[in-house]
Amino acid sequence: MSQGYRVAVLGATGAVGTELLELLEERNFPLAALKLLASERSAGKKLPFKGENLLVEAVSEGALENVDLVLASAGGSISKIWAPKAVEKGGVVIDNSSAFRMNPEVPLIVPEVNPEVAINHKGIIANPNCTTILMSVGIFPLHKVQPIKRIVVATYQSASGAGARAMSEVKNQSLDILAGKEPVTEVFPYPLAFNLFPHNSPLNSGGYCEEEMKMVNETRKIFNDSKIKISATCVRVPVLRAHSEAINLEFETPFKIEEAREILSKSPGVKLVENWQKNYFPMPIEATGQDEVLVGRIRQDISHECGLELWLCGDQIRKGAALNAVQIAELLVENNYV
């Protein structure tokens, strides 16, 4: 379609949905038409786009007619219902939920890592988990040069990972605590303001939570390497937006620090941030609103001659969700896969 594509944003009123709209406008995505879809509860709201206020519709089979591309960010249960219906009507769905990520028939894509698998799509493409996306962008350039044997990662995950209501909850809890009041918890199980706790997703029998296993399984699928050993510890921290990760990598042979730094400084989607004299490295406050994953503090693991340590921060709503989805859409358009 030379004139552009008919796009629907499902979950348009959420934190990721509104970011998708900003990115479609900012990146001048080739649009012939744009529909904003959400639940019945959100229908009737208006959202700004290119100087206009667009009406949000309730998602329905009729609303999915004549749509080329659906950017879905409405949760797994919603995606399981509506993504197949959109495909039946001829659309391609880029889904931000976990509903289809581990389906072997569904490509799981980080454009800087595995764009080539987009050609295999059968109507649905999965957007990986935020922590997986950020880690993949930051370490895959090294993996291409020398395959990684083992990854040990600890995440420091902001409130934005649980949505707009979670961000508001942390702000309100901060005010309550400073005023000497008991903080109210509705989104999270425990107060997050001035606190932190292991990620609140369900635990498996081995003691790993769902979020940690997403990093394990999704990274193996994206890297197309089932042999990588991965262990993750995911933690919620009192940061509004942008996640951080401390990553330990083990290779077959030593990886020179200078080479790793040179590779990452030239890698797409990565910004090297290091000032050793000032002890200045990536921070979530500086990653917020940025497209790139900030990587730094690259150093030799003193406990293992074949190990590297690095630290990264990335905007969870942007590259960890909405931007990655829009980049997948751009990839599809560029290669005529829609």
Q: Which residues are catalytic?
A: 130, 243
SS3 state of residue 44 = coil
How many helices (H) and strands (E) would you count in the chain?
A: 8, 14
157 marked among binding-site residues? yes
- List the one residue out of 293, 294, 295 whose CA is nearest residue 327: 293
Q: Is 160 annotated as a binding residue?
A: yes
Contact 157, 243 (CB under 8 A): yes
Residues 30 and 333 sit within 8 Å (Cβ to Cβ):
yes
Q: Does the annotation list 210 as a binding residue?
A: yes
- DSSP three-state, residue 334: helix
Q: How far apart are CA 121 and CA 226, in angstroms?
A: 21
The answer to whether the annotation marks 220 as part of a ligand binding site is: no
Sheet holding 270-272, edge to edge: 197-198, 229-236, 148-157, 243-251, 307-314, 293-300, 270-272
Is 236 marked as a binding-site residue? yes
Residue whose pair of structure tokens reads 């990264």 in the numeric block: 312
Q: Is 91 annotated as a binding residue?
A: no
165 known ligand binder: no
158 is in an annotated binding site: no
Residue 241 annotated as part of some ligand binding site: no
Query: Does 307 count as an annotated binding residue?
Result: no
Residue 108 DSSP one-character state: B
42 is in an annotated binding site: yes
What residues are designated binding site for phosphate? Answer: 101
What residues are designated binding site for substrate? Answer: 157, 210, 236
What residues are designated binding site? Answer: 13-16, 41-42, 101, 157, 160-161, 210, 236, 316
What residues are designated binding site for NADP(+)? Answer: 13-16, 41-42, 160-161, 316
